[in-house]
Structure 1
Amino acid sequence: MDASQGGRLLPMQTDLIQEARRQVEICNACRYCEGYCSVFPALQSQRTFADGDITQLANLCHNCRGCYYACQYTAPHEFDLNLPKALAEVRRDSWENLAWPQPLARQFHTKGGAIALALVAGFAVLFLAIRALGSAGGQGFYAVLPHNAMVALFAPAFLLPLLSIGISLRRYWSKVGGRPITLADLKTALGRAARMTDLAAGHGEGCNFEDEDRFSQSRRYAHQAIMYGFLLCFAATSAGTALHYIFNSPAPYPFWSLPKLLGVPGGVLVALGCAWMALLKLKSDRALGDSGAWGGDIGFTLLLGFTGLSGLMLYAVGGTGWMPAMLAVHLGAVLTLFLLTPYTKMAHGFYRAAALLRNAQRNRE
């Protein structure tokens, strides 16, 4: 049985959890950072910390870094505390060990940018090759790539990652001792996620993510732009699916249709939010996060942003000779994003939600 299923822990995973446990126990004795974010009330409600407790704390942490800059026990003190880094490393390791299938996750976190670029380019060439073989007819995009071909490619690419994430979250829920979810738990967790409460560092002033001496809401707003932009894009795709299959109204759709009214602002928010987030990451101190996963984080952020941007570019060149090539590139980005979702930073949204749900349960127990 592997580590993700509750069996023997791998040596690297054991070392990361042990180091995080050492730091958490010191923080629990000090309690200076009480109230900084959800991590510290959860931490201070316990005296001992099992491996599942450390995993839960790691996924509850939003890496705002306020605790590090407030701490009196960071280097050069002999305790050498760096809790944001310790929890970030456990967090990434938990995603890798709980992922299904597991080997793909570790590869992306170390070589994310190259993998994403290769897949986008490869899928774009594939779509252009399909077009060269001839279309079955249709209007707009379907004149380039038949509707049945799109469904055959994208339905499995959407459903299989959902299955993978479902298996991973089930493993996580078991590891952290999750209980049956109530509506009250769900309301509390979704409320905190929607407001990005923990990115305000508890005091409402924001993160110290970019600069130790300055609180900023920038990271919180960038996250919100990405999240709500993605949800708008998903709603646009769902609206288009409903129009096609229920109302017998296939694409292309005019600007004042529901898919466009949802999708265009969604694409703008995703593209701008990801560009903003990438700039914030470039300005931040890598030593206060998981430096080993930095390339994967940037690779995913740029992939998601490019997916939104290419969708907007596709809309802009619709009806011109550039449309077929732009469609191939955009579909390549979308397919890559879907397939890599369980193994990239995209999965962290699901784990964050699960951690917030478990925290809501613990608060009422």
Structure 2
Amino acid sequence: MQMFDPSTPGDLIPVLNLDESEVQRQMTICNACRYCEGFCAVFPAMTRRLEFAQADIHYLANLCHNCGACLSACQYAAPHEFAVNVPKAMAKVRLQTYAEYAWPKPFGTLYQRNGLTLALATGAGLALFLCLALLVMGNLFTAMPGGNFYGIFPHNTLAMMFGAVFGFAVLALGIGVRRFWREVTPGDVSGSIKTSAALEATANVAQLKYLDGGHGQGCNNEDDRFTLWRRRFHHLTFYGFMLCFAATGVATLYHFLLNWHAPYPILSLPVMLGIAGGIGLLIGPAGLLCLNLRRNPEQGDAHQKPMDRGFIALLLALSISGLALLAFRETTALGLLLALHLGFVMAFFLTMPYSKFAHGIFRSAALLKFSIEKRQRNPINAGSD
């Protein structure tokens, strides 16, 4: 929570909370050592600062990918008296930034609730509601010709319902990241710098560049050994989600522009994209869950594990129910599977602005700032010019 120093009412200087002060302390030590300067984007960004204000701390916390390489290499980590643990300190502040910039503001507390319980309870509750609705309508165990689920839920009803929820999620995330950007972004930047920086940041996001530990060997997970599996599972999850999103987009174009209505055959583009995306969203989150269960508790904030696992569990529920719906769409299980899948999809969209999904959006903004910053004169060296 942001507070202000009462001794300087005119300037309203933010007073750092305990977690922010800990990041400030550790960054001051790291800035004197600089052994990890080549590991990831955090440390080059750190060296452009002699002091760390609240905006700098929020920026660096979201720039951190929690790969753990710096902790494994740090000579000042516990049991040293400095007790430097950058991944854990950054993770604690990162969660606070999600809550601080959330919109609507009171919803920021959802980040700190039990994510696993919230995600699964929301999905199960919505699925149960849809099951009861279908039971009343007599469509819960009714087979439809060709697996046409629009015979159960009309297309326009689904489009309006999910369009409204998705629109709210995009709006909430957009306002939140805009608040974050306005605090941490540089001032006026030329268009050429913005364009080249945006291209570089987009490439870094697409490659998940900083999940390689800064040296290409990968992250540290349960011990000091390097592994690229965390990056690979993130890639499967990210691109699985994007393929599913593309499948929905193509199906929408088919429906409204070409007047081709679902259900589509197995070898059609929307279905093939959906299958590929569903497989990615099955393997990726399952792998991330295994890594999360085995990860060293010092590699990050253990209190955030319920939120992490809740998001992973919801992704797994999405992929499993979606693939099952496709496999059994021409049977009497269509109604039940459709209700389950739509319930989990709705839960995902409803919780998206207040779940681990937000970390990708905030981190992308931090990577864009880093790319812009690299193209500007280093303020520390400017005085010597």
TM-score band, normalised by shorter chain: over 0.9
Q: Distance in 2 between matches of 1:249 and 1:8?
A: 59
What's the offset of the Cα at 1:111? 0.9
1:1-365, aligned counterparts within 5 Å?
A: 3=2, 14-134=17-137, 140-179=148-187, 182-212=194-224, 214-365=225-376
Task: Report the 3-state secondary structure (helix = DSSP H, G, I; strand = E; otherwise coil) of the residue aligned with 1:259.
Answer: helix
Alignment deviations for residues 277-332 of structure 1 (CA, whole Å, 9 cap, x no partner): 00001110123211221111111111112211210011011111111111100000
What's the offset of the Cα at 1:105? 3.4
What's the offset of the Cα at 1:162? 0.4
TM-score, length of structure 2 as denominator length: 0.89
The number of residues matched between the two structures is 360
**Taking structure 1 as reference, are residues 117 and 29 closer, same or farther at Cα in structure 2, changes over 3 Å only?**
same
2:366 partner amino acid = A
Q: Distance in 2 between matches of 1:231 and 1:364?
A: 30
Q: Distance in 2 between matches of 1:157 and 1:291?
A: 31
**Taking structure 1 as reference, are residues 300 and 356 closer, same or farther at Cα in structure 2, changes over 3 Å only?**
same
TM-score, length of structure 1 as denominator length: 0.94
Gaps of 5+ in 2: 4-10, 377-385
Q: Identical aligned pairs, as a percentage?
A: 41
Q: Distance in 2 between matches of 1:304 and 1:295?
A: 14
**Taking structure 1 as reference, are residues 85 and 107 closer, same or farther at Cα in structure 2, changes over 3 Å only?**
same
Gaps of 5+ in 1: none
Larger Rg: 2
2:53 partner amino acid = A
What's the offset of the Cα at 1:58? 0.5
| Structure 1 stretch displaced more, 271-280 or 299-308 | 299-308
Q: Distance in 2 between matches of 1:204 and 1:216?
A: 10
What's the offset of the Cα at 1:9? 9.3
2:34 partner amino acid = R
1:278 partner amino acid = L
Q: CA RMSD in A?
A: 2.1
Instruction: Decide whether the 8 Å contact of 1:135 with 1:144 is kept in 2.
Output: no
Q: Distance in 2 between matches of 1:96 and 1:31?
A: 31
1:290 partner amino acid = D
Task: State the match for 2:380 in structure 1.
Answer: none
